[in-house]
Amino acid sequence: MNPVDDPFSAYATAVTNLTSKEAGKSKAVVIDVLNARDKVARALTNGQSVESEVLMRVNELDQKLKRDAGRIKSIAGHSLAEWRESFHPVESAWWWWLDVHRPVVSKLESFRTVVAAGTWLCWITIAFSLTFIVEFARRFVATEADLPGIVLQGLLALLVGGAVFQLVGQVAARFNSSTGKPHHNLKSLLLLAVLAIASVATTVGIEVSRSAIVDHYNSKGVAYKLNGQQTAAIASYQRAISLKPNDSLAHYNLASAYEGALDYDKAESEFQAAISCDDQYSLAYNRLARLYMLRRGDYVSALMLLKIGLDKLETNKEHNLLNERDYRDTRFALLRNRGWAYFGLGYFTQAANDLNLALEIRPDGAVAHCLLAQVLEAEKNPQRNQERANEEYEKCVADSLVYGDIEENWLSLARERLLSEGPELQKKGKSK
């Protein structure tokens, strides 16, 4: 029989008793374990050969004993220190110091747990950040192909091609292959952390600058439109919307560009989108109502939109969301178009009232003068007054030389009326 068999059996029994319910919190159970482990130590150092199976079993019991260090401390308490003073165990007999030194294995396991948790956290952070960056780049290159778009398209191809993901994969492989080497694990985690921080910083930078980028493309679109480059303006507004789908101004500008390109269906959709993004956008209500009247002759729906627009305008003013000039310009446009809606429905008095209110805000509003002239000369208007209508037509023609925002058919009507009244009146209208 191997000389370590009996000490080993005693050690195994003592460790088992330590965790049994019958043992309870008896200090004798603890000292039995420590004494049994002393006997195993003496047997292992007496120069006799020991079978591998026995050594493995001893190691398993040692690991179990280390894991039960907390239980031993709770049972023995201060007695462990007193026993050390009485029995003077050698320093290599680690089992006598379970209350003082945390087992190295336990520390390694905790370290590995922390590193593993940190690694997964970095992985998740990198994955979410790269998803955000790739989506932003995809939106950016989805419209016009200019230099920034081409550069981002190349970066997008790099990401999708897997260069960054391969790098992260290599780091993960290094982490997996270095199990049991804490310093290697830590280096891998630090590299992953750097990648995670870089990806998060890029993501935050994109999000912080998103509004500025959108404003840039909005302004660029306005410049294109002023230069008569409708197609380029539309592309700029589309890119702004692609980068920030809930930007009401970009939708409004795109709608205006579509209207200028005579694509009225898309213009209506974009005005509606602008309202969906910002239901306080009075100008969007105004322009959508105008399209309803201009294309469909739907004065009832237009009237409802204009009423909402006026209500929203007053709310914005109460909350100091508009300066005085913007308030007056928007109110003029809404009153002018509401006068048009009333006129279309045959409500001549209300139409004249709104148009006169609009002209109080902007006396040189050519469209308002032209509409008022049509109201005053309408055959069904009980207050029909051709002389005053002619005066309004004169103002319409004169003011159209300053402001070109007037329907061509109305301006032609005004000139026709002035011609029919005589050359002198037409000449007078042109000179104003």
Answer yes or no: is pLDDT of 371 > 90. Answer: yes
- What is the CB-side half-sphere exposure of residue 140 using CA atoms within 13 A? 21
Domain boundary among 39, 74, 101: 101
More confident residue, 288 or 18: 288
Segments in 227-281 forming alpha helices (H): 230-243, 248-260, 264-277
**The pair of three-digit structure tokens given for residue 190, joined into one six-digit string:** 């630090």
User: Is the residue at 177 inside a domain?
Assistant: yes
CB atoms within 10 A of CB 34: 21
One domain, residues 62 and 85: yes
CA atoms of 156 and 170, how far apart (whole Å) = 21
One domain, residues 40 and 95: yes
**The pair of three-digit structure tokens given for residue 155, joined into one six-digit string:** 């970066």
One domain, residues 85 and 144: no
Answer yes or no: is pLDDT of 266 > 70. Answer: yes
Name the band, by pLDDT with cuts 50, 70 and 90, for residue 1. very low
One domain, residues 151 and 183: yes
Residue 373 has a pLDDT of 95
Residue 179 has a pLDDT of 47
Residue pair 418/409 in contact (Cβ under 8 Å)? The answer is no
One domain, residues 135 and 164: yes
Give exposure, 294-314, as e/b (b: 16+ Cβ within 10 Å): eeeebbeebbebbebbbebbe
**The pair of three-digit structure tokens given for residue 145, joined into one six-digit string:** 């192909």
Residue pair 431/423 in contact (Cβ under 8 Å)? The answer is no
Using alpha carbons, list the distances in angstroms from residue 324 to 231, 317, 364, 366.
33, 8, 18, 22
One domain, residues 121 and 197: yes
Residue pair 394/429 in contact (Cβ under 8 Å)? The answer is yes
pLDDT tens-digit readout, 378-401 = 988 888 899 999 999 999 998 887
User: Is the residue at 358 inside a domain?
Assistant: no
Q: What is the mean pLDDT of residues 87-111?
A: 73
Q: Which residues, other chains included, contact 214 with Cβ-Cβ below 8 Å and sequence gap of 6+?
A: 240, 243, 244, 247, 250
More confident residue, 12 or 103: 12
Q: What is the mean pLDDT of residues 194-212?
A: 89
CB atoms within 10 A of CB 8: 22
User: Is the residue at 96 inside a domain?
Assistant: yes
Name the band, by pLDDT with cuts 50, 70 and 90, for residue 432. very low
Q: Give 402-411's long-range contacts (Cβ < 8 A, gap of 24+).
A: 402/364, 402/366, 403/364, 403/365, 403/366, 405/366, 405/367, 406/366, 406/367, 406/370, 407/294, 407/367, 407/370, 410/367, 410/370, 410/371, 410/374, 411/366, 411/370
Q: What is the mean pLDDT of residues 105-126?
A: 75
**The pair of three-digit structure tokens given for residue 421, joined into one six-digit string:** 């009244």
CA atoms of 382 and 407, how far apart (whole Å) = 26
User: Is the residue at 69 inside a domain?
Assistant: yes
Residue 176 has a pLDDT of 52
How many domains does one find in the chain? 2
Name the band, by pLDDT with cuts 50, 70 and 90, for residue 216. very high
CB atoms within 10 A of CB 124: 11
pLDDT tens-digit readout, 22-53 = 655 688 888 888 999 999 888 888 877 778 88
**The pair of three-digit structure tokens given for residue 83, joined into one six-digit string:** 């026993």
One domain, residues 113 and 53: no
Domain boundary among 101, 127, 155: 101
Of 133-137, 217-221, 367-371, the one with minimum mean pLDDT is: 133-137
Start-to-end C-alpha separation, the chain: 128
| Residue 73 phi, psi dihedral angles, 5° rounding | -65, -40
CA atoms of 122 and 197, how far apart (whole Å) = 9
Task: Give the structural domain span for 194.
Answer: 105-212
One domain, residues 21 and 55: yes
One domain, residues 110 and 96: no
With CA atoms as reference, report the closest residue to 366 among 321, 331, 398.
398
CA atoms of 326 and 320, how far apart (whole Å) = 11
User: Is the residue at 90 inside a domain?
Assistant: yes
One domain, residues 70 and 131: no
* Stated pTM of the model: 0.64
Name the band, by pLDDT with cuts 50, 70 and 90, for residue 17. confident
Q: What is the mean pLDDT of residues 91-110?
A: 70
User: Is the residue at 360 inside a domain?
Assistant: no
Domain boundary among 156, 180, 212: 212
One domain, residues 38 and 68: yes
Tokens 């080497």 belong to 181
More confident residue, 145 or 29: 29
User: Is the residue at 176 inside a domain?
Assistant: yes
Residue pair 182/116 in contact (Cβ under 8 Å)? The answer is no
Residue pair 355/375 in contact (Cβ under 8 Å)? The answer is yes
pLDDT tens-digit readout, 158-194 = 554 454 555 555 555 555 554 445 445 677 778 888 8
User: Is the residue at 297 inside a domain?
Assistant: no
One domain, residues 131 and 174: yes
